Structure 1
């Protein structure tokens, strides 16, 4: 695509260039508000508020003249730009350490209510183009296989933790329904739902087709199980 990596909002010291966009993502972040045990304090709501602050500051600088134009987006970029989302997996992953699978299933609607609230705020600020990733096969991540996959009965045919993947599939099913609902509500928007789960599952189940045999074999030797390459 010949596009640069976006500079991070949290790395704004000096004169970073946000002309092409801004990255609000933070490792370990969740959709639900952070708690005392969260890996990252920058939950989705915080990231949305950071965007609101970013936009307000950009408009303020644009009003001062052309001095900062080469470093910040033009005003119409906020409407024409693409808003990309890849979040939600950490909500599920963290929950497995303290909740039953039924409790996790029951929490998914609340997760998506929080996500919907953020999307609506961005729409109200002029955002019209939304690119939303669903979550990948959580049960195939090496960390989860090692921690929760010691009982072979809990693994699927690929060696992944089946409960984790069931939760991911349920989240994705409800997320897909939400994107269709939002597209119906906001007819002037473009909402694209990207099926990352299927893409990664295909990569894992057909790893030899993608010339990953040696690497997967090394992983299997180390852990005794087939691991996700993520």
Structure 2
């Protein structure tokens, strides 16, 4: 597959800001991923025929890949670290997808709480878990009938030995702010996490033992959020230009999610739970972007309107529309590696590479919680790019 490499200076700069700690034993026979657009590798495009066209995918895939990004996501880099192929979406049946090393149930716009009629994705976490349960049952049924499919489907032991990844919750908080006050959003967090706990327990009862849980990122630093809520109340912006109310909600969610993971680990000693602090990694990237080789921390690379945000809610990345009587196009920037944000809602491949590299040091795990074999990766960083 043809792809574009980052320049050597850029990679040297990225990797010079953390120790190359090897994480031994970060190896699983299969990965089963659950989440939203941060780890969607084509589920929403396949599931609802979302027209996610160019310039998405331009940096690595050289064409749209079903990802809300110019290239690879964090999940893609993680699969590369393990020397495994990209995860195929559960919902994509075209192209004879291979699920031997796992399956991706994540879909853009998904929430932990059950989807509503106006939700951008009907595939909430409960639906994704139900899809997994059906996937597992169907796989075992097919393999019991004919072993010739074992080159395309995970074996029975893979379900017990595999890694179960979760990166979801951002859309629950995001959506709540459009109809609720900050205090009301805070009050909703326990309800959101009660549903999350119910679903990961379902996975445990299905035989899952290795859990990898990302907390949610700094929601208030997304250009879309800043363009809406920052303009409504400029005093709600922090020194970096991020919306404080949304970041406070994200931090509260993360604090309670971390406590949930600890309780879950205590309740199920056979589980191996890894809680990853994505918020801190992403916020540090935004706060220190210039030292890390990025020129724009908040502006969308692909958008319309120019700096400081280059985002207009009326026109999405790649679209051409008539605005104020003129035909305009939301075009990508010249160099995506200079931008942290891709389209106003998601990160660029360059930012995803940095995020992946940071948590692969092991410094952003809950060390008191994590008893899993992912305690010490041992990998070759060349897999990342």
**Fold shared per TM-score above 0.5:** yes
> Unaligned regions of 5+ residues in structure 2, if any?
1-80, 311-338, 342-346, 348-385
User: In the alignment, does 2:199 pair up with 1:115?
Assistant: no
Q: CA RMSD in A?
A: 1.9
User: Could you say which residue in structure 1 is the equivalent of 2:278?
Assistant: 196
- What secondary structure does 1:163 align onto? helix
Query: Normalising by the residue count of structure 2, what TM-score does the alignment of the two structures yield?
Result: 0.57
**Is the contact made by 1:159 and 1:225 (CA closer than 8 Å) also made in structure 2?**
no
Match of 1:23 among 76, 98, 104: 104
SS of 2:203 mapped into structure 1? helix
Displacement after TM superposition at 1:228 (Å): 5.5
Deviation at 1:223, TM superposition (A): 3.8
Question: Which protein has the bigger strand share?
Answer: 2
Indicate conservation of the 8 Å contact 1:31/1:115, yes or no: yes
Select 1:80's aligned residue among 161, 168, 171: 161
Distance 2:162 2:226 in 1: 38
Write the distance in 2 (CA, Å) between the matches of 1:12 and 1:56: 17
Q: CA deviation at 1:3?
A: 2.0
Cα distance in 2 for partners of 1:79, 1:148 equals 44
Counterpart CA distance in 1 for 2:198 and 2:166 is 14
Deviations along 1:21-72, whole A, 9 cap, x unmatched? 0000000000000011211000000000000000000010110121211110
Spell out the pairing of 1:1-230 with structure 2 (5 A cutoff). Answer: 1=81, 2-13=83-94, 15-150=96-231, 151-213=233-295, 215-216=296-297, 222-224=306-308, 229=341, 230=347
Take 1:218 and 1:201, find their aligned partners in 2: how far apart are those partners?
15
- Give 3-state SS (helix, strand or coil) of 1:16's partner: coil
8 Å contact from structure 1 (residues 142, 228) kept in 2: no
Q: Distance in 2 between matches of 1:121 and 1:84?
A: 14
Q: Structure 2: how far apart are the matches of 1:217 and 1:21?
A: 34
Quick one: structure 1 residues 186 and 46, their matched pair in 2 at CA, closer, same or farther if it must change by over 3 Å? same
Alpha-carbon separation, structure 1, partners of 2:96 and 2:250: 39
Q: Normalized per residue, which structure has more helix?
A: 1
Counterpart contact for 2:100–2:152, Cα < 8 Å: yes
- Take 1:63 and 1:155, find their aligned partners in 2: how far apart are those partners? 58
CA contact (8 A) 2:167 2:214 kept: yes
Shift in CA distance, 67/163, structure 1 to aligned 2, threshold 3 Å? same
SS in 1 for 2:150: coil
Normalising by structure 1, report the TM-score: 0.95
Q: Distance in 2 between matches of 1:203 and 1:194?
A: 16
Whether the aligned pair in 2 keeps the contact of 1:140 and 1:228 (CA below 8 Å) is: no
Secondary structure at the counterpart of residue 147 of structure 1? helix
CA distance in 2, matches of 1:87, 1:206: 25
The CA distance in 2 between the partners of 1:185 and 1:219, in whole Å, is 43
Count residues with an aligned counterpart: 229
1:21–1:73 CA contact under 8 A, matched in 2? yes
